[in-house]
Amino acid sequence: MLLRKYMSLLGVGSAVIDLILPKETYKRGELIKGYFHLRGGTIEQQLKRIDSDLVVIDKETNTERVIDTATILSSKLINPEEASKVSFTFKLPDDIPVSTERISYRFKTRLIFNEGVESKDQDHIQVI
């Protein structure tokens, strides 16, 4: 049991997160409603928070910039192999540029624990 705990602290067998969105294309100013799917690892872990950053990528200048962040604070205990859902809501700004070959968007999501390595997820969206 102790070995599994230390492996989890290093990220092996840790809980994972996946942002589930109903579609990939959204209009500027649209309210995005989805959910986070959480899956417990090999040991129980104390959740601290979920952060999901909307990031704009400029392929021409090879830069990334965080537009806004949705944060959910939690003290939930994730049991081994437990599956759960947490609601996600995010309003796209009205004034962001639309997606092009040069400009793209993605949500970078992090599941942060009191102890252990973060679990990460990325989901691309298109803004029209």
How many whole angstroms separate alpha carbon 33 and alpha carbon 88? 6
DSSP code, position 10: T
Strand 31-39 and strand 16-20: the pairing is antiparallel
Reduced to 3 states (helix: H, G, I; strand: E, B; else coil), residue 42 is coil
pLDDT digits (tens, 9 = 90+) for 79-120: 999 999 999 999 999 999 999 999 999 999 999 998 767 899
Ordered by where they begin, the domains of the chain are: 2-127 (2.60.40.640)
The reply to whether the predicted model has a pTM over 0.85 is: yes
Q: Are 13 and 7 in contact (CB under 8 A)?
A: yes
Q: Is the pLDDT of residue 75 over 80?
A: yes
